Structure 1
Amino acid sequence: MKNLSVISIIVVIAFITSGCSGLKKMVKNAGTIQYSVTPEILQMHADSVAIGISGKFPEKFFNKKATVVITPVIKWEGGEKALKEVKLQGEKVEDNNTVIKVAGGNFSYNDKIPYVDDMKISTLEVKATAAIKKKTAEFEPKKIGNGVIATPRLLLTDARAIIAKDNFQRITPEIKEADIHFAVQQANIRPGEMSQEDIKGLKNYLVEVLKAENKELKGVSVSAYASPDGAEDLNAKLSENRGVIAEKFVGTEFKNVKTPKFTDADKAIVKEKEAKFKEKAAKAQDKSVYSTKSTAEDWDGFQKLMKSSDLQDKDLIVRVLEMYSDPVRRETEIKNIASVYPKVADKILPQLRRSMLKINVDVVGLSDEEIITLAKATPDSLTVEELLYAATLTNDNNVKLDVYKACETVYPQEWRGFNNAGCQLVKLNKIPEAKEAFAKAKELKDGEPIVMNNFGVVAFYENDYVKSEEYLNSAAGAGAEVNYNLGLLSVKKADYEGAVKYFGSDCSFNAALAILLNGDAEGASKRIDCIEDKEVAMNYYLKAVAGARTANTDLMFNNLRAAIGKSASLAGKAKTDMEFFKYFEDETFKSIVR
C-alpha cells in the first residue's frame, strides 16, 4: 500500500513536470511560428478594417495536450483594439477548435473592426497564451503588421444639391399685329380703316415703341394680298401696291411721333435720353427695318376662311380647291357654283384684300444691377423669375439665402424658392434648416426629382447612407448631380468600380480618388489633370499617392513638394500616411515632409 502511494506521487510529479516542460518548450520556440497578414499593410474601406491572418506552426512545436489562444491586437499611441481570438488545440485535446498536429500545421483567421483615425500609425501584434490542463504560459507578443492605409478618408464630402433654375429672360420678343383692308381693286387706305380697333391699337403701340426706354424695334413685316378673283397680273400689281402703301403708313406713323419732353436733374441724362429717342426714330425710318412680301392671289387664305365659314356648299368649294391647282380653272369652277358664289364674294373675298402688319419689338428687362438692388430693397417689385435670377448675381451665399428667403415670402406657393434656400443652407452647413426648406418644397411639388436629390444630400450629411440612396434613386432626370452623389455613396460603401461608373467623366477630386481606389493610379493622375482648379493642394497630394502606388518616385516627390508648398499642414499628414510607408526612411521624403 505504501509503495502504491509513492508510485502515485511520482506519476503526478511526472505529469506536472511534463506539462511545465511542454509549455516552456512552446514559449521558447514561439518565434518559429510564421505569420502573414493580408493585406500586407491594413486598409480601411467602408469605415472598417478587414484583417486576414494566416499562421504556420513548425514540426514538433505543438504539444499534443496543449491549447493555444491567439489574440491579434492593433496598438497605437494611447490605445489599442483587441480583435476576436482564435483557439487552436493539440491532437489529444478533446474540444472543437482547429487541431495543430505534432507534425506541424496551419490556421487562418479573418476579422473586421470599425476604423478610427488613430489606427493610421499603429502596429498589428499577436498575443498568444498556451495552456496544458491548468498550467498556462504567455508567448512573447509578436509584431506582424504596420499601420492602416486610410486613403478613402480623403473623400471630399461635397454632395451636390441642385438649384432649381429660373426662367428669366432679359429680352422678351413682342409682336403687335393689325390688318389694313382695301376695297376691291383698290390700294388706297380708306379713312374708315383708321377707326378700326386693331389699327388704333397699332398706332398707339408705335408711339410707345419709340418712347419706351425698354423697347427696341427689331423689324416691320408687311404681307400684302389680293383676293383670288380677277386677272392674275392685275392682282399681282394690286398686292404689290398694297404692300407699298402699308409700309409707307407705318413709316409715316413713326415719323409723326413727337420727341417727348424728358426731365431729370442731371442734364446729361436728359441729353442721353433725347439722343436715344432720336436714334430709335431714325431706325424706324431705315428701309432695312422693313420687310414686305406680296401675294397676288391668296388661295391659302381663301381655303382657310372657307373651311371655317358657315356657308352652304362650302365643302363643294373646298373640293374644287383640292382638285385643281390652276388658279383660272379654280376661279371658273367656283363661279359656276351659282348658289354660293354671291355669298363668297360678299363675305369671304373682302377679308382677303388686305395688308397684314407685324411690328417686331424686343422688350428689354431690368439690368443685373437694378435686379439685385430691388431684390434686396423691394423684392415684391420683382417677378418670381427676376427674383430667382437675382440670387445668381452674387457669390455671397448669405446674400443668396436672403434673396431666396424673400422669394419664399413674396411667392409662398413657388417651390423653387424653398428648394433653392435649402441648397444655400446646405452650403452654409445648416443641414437641419435645409431639411425643413426641402420639406416645404416637397409639399408644394411632391415627387419633383430635384427635391428628391436634395433630400438625398441631406441624408448623406446625416450619415444615413441607406436613406440617401433611396432618395437619389428616386431623383432620375434631375441632373448630373444625382450620379455624382451616388458616386460618393459608392465610395463610402467601398464599391469603387460602381463609383467610377457613377462619376463618369466628371473632372473632380472625388472622381480621381475613385479611379485610384479602383486600382488605376495612372488614370487617377490623368483625371486630376482635367480638374478646372488644378492648383488645389489636395490635387497634388493625390497625385503623390498615385506616384507612391506605382513606385514612380519622381511623380510622388514632385507632387508632394507642390502639395506641401500650397498647404504646409500636409507635411504632417504625409508623415503618418501609410501610402508612403516604404519611403518613411527615404532621405528625400524626409527632407520634403520635415
Structure 2
Amino acid sequence: MNKKYLLPLLVLAAIVTFSSCSNKLKPLAQEYIKAEPQPLEAIGGQVPVTINATFPAKWFNKKAVVTVTPVLRYAGGEAWGTAYTYQGEKVAGNNQVIPQKEGANVTMKSSFAYKPEMKKSELYLTFDAKIKNKTIKLPDVKIGDGVVATSELANAASATPAIGADKFQRIIKEAHSANIMFLIQQAELRSKELSKQEVSDWKDLVKNADEAPNQNVAIEISAYASPDGGVKLNTGLAERREGNTSKFLNRELKKQKIDVPVDARYTAQDWEGFQELVSKSNIQDKDLVLRVLSMYQDPEQRENEIKNISAVFSTLADEILPQLRRSRLTANIEIIGKSDDEISALVKSNPKELSVEEILYAATLTNNDGEKESIYKKASELYANDFRTWNNIGMQRFKAGDLAKAEEMFNKANSVKANPESNMNLGLIALTKGDKAKAQQLLGSASGVNELSEALGVLYLQQGEYAKAVNSFGSIKSNNAALAQILVKDYSKAQQTLAGVANADATTDYLKAVVAARTNNSSDVINSLKSAIAKDRSLAKEAAADLEFAKYVTNADFSSLVK
C-alpha cells in the first residue's frame, strides 16, 4: 500500500477504536466496594447494610445511567434492597452526577426484612446500565456472606406475664375512735357526753373485739386542751381531762370484764388539731391564720397574734376551739386471718368459705402450675366480676405455651374491667406475633405493673434498642436479659446472668455457647452446645448455620455435634 494512504487509515482506526471503547462500561471491581457490617447482622427484625462504593476516574461514561441495587440471595429466594441511580455529565436528569474525569465515592444504605434462611446467604450488587438507549450488561459483584441472627433469639413467650395479685392480709389493722367533749376550762366528765351513742357504740365494739377469738384490741386515750388560755393553764387542764377519762374507762372495762392494754397521754395545746380544723373550714381569713401558724413557733406568740386578728377570732372561739376540748378514745383492733394451712384446705374442700383475696392467695401457696390454674378457675366461678381471676388463668396458659387461650383470657379480663396487668400481657402476646407497634401501645397502658420492666426489655430487644433493653431488664436473670447484654458486648455480665437463670433451658445453654465463642473459649463452646442440643436437637441445625460459630466449622468436636 502507498505510504501516503497508510497514515490516514491508522488515524481512522484509532478514532473508531476510541469511540467504540468510550461507549462501554467496564465491570466494577470488588476492590472498589465495601459493605458494612461484615458479616451482616439482624437488628430489630431487619438486616441493615451500608455500602460504600467508588466509581474510579474515567470509569463512568458521560452519557451513561447506572442503577445499582443490593440483593441478598439465600436458599429459596432473594430480597432486593434500595436502588440508587447515578448518571454521567451529559445526561439530562435528577440523579447524582458522577464526573468522568475524577470519578466519585457514593454511599448506599439499604435494609432487608429478616428471614431465618438468610443466615446462609450472599450479598450482591447488581447493575442496570444504559448508554443513551443501549443496555450495557455488567456482572453482579458479590460483597458479603451470611447474616448473624443472634438478636432473633429474643423470645417474648418466655417473659414473665403480669399476675393479678391478691390483697390478702393475715392481720388487718383497724382504728375506731370516739370523742368525749369538755366545756371551756373544765375537766369534769358530763353524763351527757358519756351516754351519747358514739361512746356507747365504741364500748360495744371494744367488747366484741375482746371476745372474738381472731381479734386483738388495745386502747389509747388522748386528752387535749384548746390552744387558748396559756400553756400553764392548759397543761393542768389537759392532764386532769386525761386522768378523769382514764378513771371512767377503767371502771367501764372492769364492769365488762375486759382486760386490754390502755395507753393514756395528754397534749397541753392542740395546735396540730387547730391547724387541721382551720384548713378544712370555710372561715374568713383562714389563710391569714394558717400563715401565723407557719411564721411563729412559740405558743404564746401564736395565741397573741391570732387574737390580734379580731375579725376572725370570735369565729375561731365559736366554731374551732370547742372541738379541741376533748378526750379521744381509740380502739386499735387487729383482725387475724386464716392460716395458710386453713386456706389451702378450704380452697380444696369448700372454696365458697373463702373471700376472693383468700382464694387468689391460696394459688401462691403451691408451686404446681396445674393446681394454680385449678384454683384460679374456681375463683373465676365464684367471683366472675373480678378481672384478676380471668387474667391469672390467662397467665397460666401463657406459661404453658397456649398463647391463643391466654389471649382469650386476657381479653376476657379486660372486658370485666380494663386493667394494666391484662394490657401488659396482651402486649407480650403482640410481641410473640411480631406486632411491635401494637405491643408498644399496650405496654404503654400498663403503668405500675411490677412485671412491666421485663416486658419493655423484650420490646426494646425486638426494636434493636439494646442499651435500653439492658437498662429495662435491670437485675432480672433471664435468657432475654442475657441476650441484651451479649448484644451490647457485656459478656462478663451476660455470663453472670445466664448462671443465675432459675429454670435454665436449651436457649440458656445456646447463649452460653455464643458468649464462649465471642470470648474465644473453645471448650465452653463445645460443652455448652452439647448441653443445648441434648435438650433441643433442632439446635444442632441452628448452630451449623450460625455465623457465631463460623471459626469452629473445622473443629472435629463441633462438626460431630452439629451433623
TM-score range, shorter chain: 0.5 to 0.7
Which letter maps to 2:352?
D
> Which residue, out of 497, 501, 516, partners 2:471?
501
Which letter maps to 2:160?
R
**Which of the pair has more CA radius of gyration?**
1
Counterpart in 1 of 2:311? none
Q: State the Cα distance separating 1:425 from its structure 2 match.
A: 3.4
Q: Is the 1:19–1:132 Cα contact (8 Å) retained in structure 2? A: no
- Cα deviation, 1:516-573, whole Å, max 9, x if unaligned, reads 112323332232223234x533223212222333444454444334433444432221
Q: 1:401 to 1:566 in 2, by over 3 A?
A: closer
Aligned counterparts of 1:575 and 1:345: Cα–Cα separation in 2: 85
SS at match of 1:74: strand
> Which residue, out of 473, 476, 488, partners 2:458?
488
Q: State the Cα distance separating 1:110 from its structure 2 match.
A: 0.9
Q: Is the 2:87–2:95 Cα contact (8 Å) retained in structure 1? A: yes
Structure 1: runs of 5 or more not aligned: 1-11, 175-197, 210-214, 224-299, 308-314, 335-343
Aligned counterparts of 1:564 and 1:462: Cα–Cα separation in 2: 26
Which letter maps to 1:573?
E
CA RMSD of aligned residues (A): 4.6
Counterpart in 2 of 1:41? 39
Aligned counterparts of 1:439 and 1:358: Cα–Cα separation in 2: 51
TM-score norm. by structure 2 comes to 0.66
The residue correspondences of 1:556-575 to structure 2 (distance < 5 A) are 556-575=525-544
> Which residue, out of 304, 317, 323, partners 2:236?
323
Which letter maps to 2:163?
I
> Which residue, out of 389, 397, 406, partners 1:417?
389
SS at match of 1:125: strand
Q: Is the 1:33–1:55 Cα contact (8 Å) retained in structure 2? A: no
Counterpart in 1 of 2:511? 542
The residue correspondences of 1:186-585 to structure 2 (distance < 5 A) are 322-323=235-236, 350-351=251-252, 356-358=258-260, 365=338, 368=341, 375=347, 378-395=350-367, 397-431=369-403, 433-442=405-414, 445-446=417-418, 448-479=419-450, 481-533=451-503, 535-585=504-554
Aligned counterparts of 1:348 and 1:375: Cα–Cα separation in 2: 43
| Identity fraction in percent | 34
Q: State the Cα distance separating 1:406 from its structure 2 match.
A: 2.4
Q: 1:580 to 1:101 in 2, by over 3 A?
A: farther
Aligned counterparts of 2:235 and 2:386: Cα–Cα separation in 1: 51
Q: 1:382 to 1:26 in 2, by over 3 A?
A: same
Counterpart in 2 of 1:152? 151
Q: State the Cα distance separating 1:436 from its structure 2 match.
A: 4.9
Q: 1:458 to 1:568 in 2, by over 3 A?
A: closer
Q: Is the 2:55–2:103 Cα contact (8 Å) retained in structure 1? A: yes
- Cα deviation, 1:109-144, whole Å, max 9, x if unaligned, reads 111221111111000012224332333332232211
Aligned counterparts of 1:326 and 1:76: Cα–Cα separation in 2: 92
Q: 1:23 to 1:585 in 2, by over 3 A?
A: farther
Counterpart in 1 of 2:7? none
Q: Is the 2:82–2:111 Cα contact (8 Å) retained in structure 1? A: no
Aligned counterparts of 1:82 and 1:54: Cα–Cα separation in 2: 17
Counterpart in 2 of 1:54? 52
Q: State the Cα distance separating 1:402 from its structure 2 match.
A: 3.6
Q: State the Cα distance separating 1:576 from its structure 2 match.
A: 0.6
- Cα deviation, 1:198-255, whole Å, max 9, x if unaligned, reads 99x999x99x97xxxxx8xx9999x9xxxxxxxxxxxxxxxxxxxxxxxxxxxxxxxx
Which range is displaced more, 146-155 or 406-415?
Answer: 406-415
Aligned counterparts of 2:541 and 2:42: Cα–Cα separation in 1: 20
Q: 1:588 to 1:89 in 2, by over 3 A?
A: farther
Which letter maps to 1:528?
L
Q: State the Cα distance separating 1:468 from its structure 2 match.
A: 2.7
Aligned counterparts of 2:55 and 2:246: Cα–Cα separation in 1: 115
Counterpart in 1 of 2:65? 67
Aligned counterparts of 1:490 and 1:162: Cα–Cα separation in 2: 18
Q: State the Cα distance separating 1:81 from its structure 2 match.
A: 1.7
Which letter maps to 1:505?
S
Aligned counterparts of 1:554 and 1:123: Cα–Cα separation in 2: 30
Aligned counterparts of 2:405 and 2:40: Cα–Cα separation in 1: 39
- Cα deviation, 1:473-530, whole Å, max 9, x if unaligned, reads 3433321x11111111111111111111111111111111111112323332232223
SS at match of 2:130: strand
Aligned counterparts of 2:348 and 2:42: Cα–Cα separation in 1: 49
Q: Is the 1:170–1:365 Cα contact (8 Å) retained in structure 2? A: yes
Q: State the Cα distance separating 1:72 from its structure 2 match.
A: 1.8
